[in-house]
Amino acid sequence: MGVEEEFLLVDPDTGLPQMRNSAVISTATELGMSLQLELSQCQVETNSPVCWDSRGLRTHLLESRTLAAAAAARNGSRLLATGTPPVGPARMPVSDCDRYRAMARRFGTLALEQGICGCHVHVDVPDRETRVQVCNHVRPWLPTLLALSANSPLHRGIDSGFASWRTILWSRWPVSGPPPFFDSADAYDDLVAMLIDCDCLLDERMVYWDIRPSSHLPTVEVRVCDVMPTVDQTVLLATLVRALVMTAVAAVGRGDALPDVTLSTLRIANWMAARDGLSGMGLDPHTARSVPCSRRVELLLDHVRDALDELGECRRVEAALRYELARGNGAIWQRNALANSSSVGEVVRSATERTLEHCEPLPA
């Protein structure tokens, strides 16, 4: 498995986004780290190597956050793991590269109002046809992953009313949110080709569904989640995603019937997860009935238990989920912090510290 994490660069005092990603990436190179541009100039992305277990993933993520934060600090910025900028303007300039300039020309305000950060988990599935069928099996669980990861209630200085406002902003793209059901890899390819031909996408890399066969790796990529506040929360999420994919691969191998879940049901379940996170009710896509979000998490754990046992992760994940449900996700933390702070800027400063929880002190 591997993980991509997107981060914001913010002013240490005001919490406002800073358009410095090119300079930060240059500094990171000097520190021996490879950072990537994201769509907005206030964003950077880290990519883990291929990891075989959660311990190795945690080590790499801690190192990546430490070095990315050090590169940001040398350019007068702090690294922030929130799904949306809690404060700042609606529009931000796109990064200085041909692809993102082309997106700005093609999609206008939609590209300029992006500036949102997610966590993408890749899990190895070598066969392409199997990757498409795995997506069909995993898609009903995407709202539960979103509820767990919701980490973007604050935007432009106010509470949006949603646990994951990033999801709502992201939903404006033509190929986003839960994917439709696909009978085969050919059906997937045909739809993507149509979307490119009718100028809805620049290319296959702009397929932004919440789960997809990767366009450049032999993996299934789960993209539904907000960037997680801490490394330990990212590792929990990645382990659950890996177990979900393993469970789906086994189901495909047995020829199990696919879940009978309509796209309209999934879209409503995703919207409810974006609104309520872990705090309220969620829609169970399998039954189309409202249930407490905590119950959906329990059902997810039951669904992947055999895979977690195979990985030797069951006890750790059970304990981590109990802790997460008791403490609350990133959205709950942000709202509690805002209630006990004098300003959103103060919340941002606390969130930048939380971004580096358990990381080594920044190098001089």
Instruction: Quote the CA–CA distance of 26 and 22 in Å, as a whole number.
Output: 6
Task: Give residue 260's pLDDT.
Answer: 87
164, two tokens: 């994951």
* Residue 134: count of CB within 10 angstroms of its CB: 24
What is the rounded distance in angstroms from the CA atom of residue 92 to the CA atom of residue 115?
Answer: 7
Q: What percent of the chain has pLDDT over 70?
A: 100
Which pTM does this prediction carry? Answer: 0.97
Average pLDDT (249-260) is 95
Contact call for residues 60 and 5 (beta carbons, < 8 A):
no
Using one digit for the tens of pLDDT, what is the confidence trace for 164-199? 999 999 999 999 999 999 999 999 999 999 999 999
Give the helix/strand (H/E) hosting 289. strand 289-292
Q: Quick one: pLDDT at residue 280?
A: 87
Kindly report, residue by residue over 204-237, the tens digit of the pLDDT.
999 999 999 998 999 999 999 999 999 999 999 9
User: Per residue in 10-32, pLDDT tens?
Assistant: 999 999 999 999 999 999 999 99
Domain boundaries, the chain: 2-339
Q: What are the C-alpha distances in Å from 320 to residues 225, 236, 280?
A: 17, 7, 20
How far is 72 from 356, CA to CA, in rounded Å?
A: 13
* Distance in angstroms (rounded) separating the CA atoms of residues 287 and 290: 9
> What is the percentage of the chain residues whose pLDDT exceeds 90?
96
Average pLDDT, rounded, for the chain: 96
Mean pLDDT on 42-65:
97
Fold of 2-339: Creatine Kinase; Chain A, domain 2 (3.30.590)
